[in-house]
Amino acid sequence: DGGITQSPKYLFRKEGQNVTLSCEQNLNHDAMYWYRQDPGQGLRLIYYSQIVNDFQKGDIAEGYSVSREKKESFPLTVTSAQKNPTAFYLCASSLQGALAYEQYFGPGTRLTVT
């Protein structure tokens, strides 16, 4: 089955620690995205990548970092510089080119930092 996997489902960290959220897709999609979801805020774009070894900042990139070394993988690191890291994080992917319409989403990772 093709899809997007995010692990773990729930993640707990102490304040001041960096944490990396995993996102893997086997859809052969070119573009991948990270969103943050907070209650009543909708989805806000953190970073996106249209091709391997290249990525762009979204609206709320401060305190986050990403890498795109493989087409299938787009891990997100939440650094200690992120002031309010507790949130639900969603990874998505899409095709490029003439058939590139909707984004496909993973199941999400709920991060709690105390």
Partner 1 sequence: AQSVTQLGSHVSVSEGALVLLRCNYSSSVPPYLFWYVQYPNQGLQLLLKYTTGATLVKGINGFEAEFKKSETSFHLTKPSAHMSDAAEYFCAVSEGLAGNTPLVFGKGTRLSVIA
Q: Which residues in this chain contact partner 1 in the complex, by CB under 8 A?
A: 4, 6, 29-31, 33, 35, 40-43, 45, 48, 50, 58, 88, 90, 92, 94-98, 100-108, 110
Is the alpha carbon torsion for 28, 32, 38, 41 positive or negative? Answer: negative
CB of 80 to partner 1, least distance (A): 26
Closest to partner 1 by CB, 52 or 80: 52
- Evaluate whether 63 touches 78 at the Cβ level (below 8 Å): yes
CB of 63 to partner 1, least distance (A): 19
Nearest to 43 by CA among 109, 9, 88, 102: 88
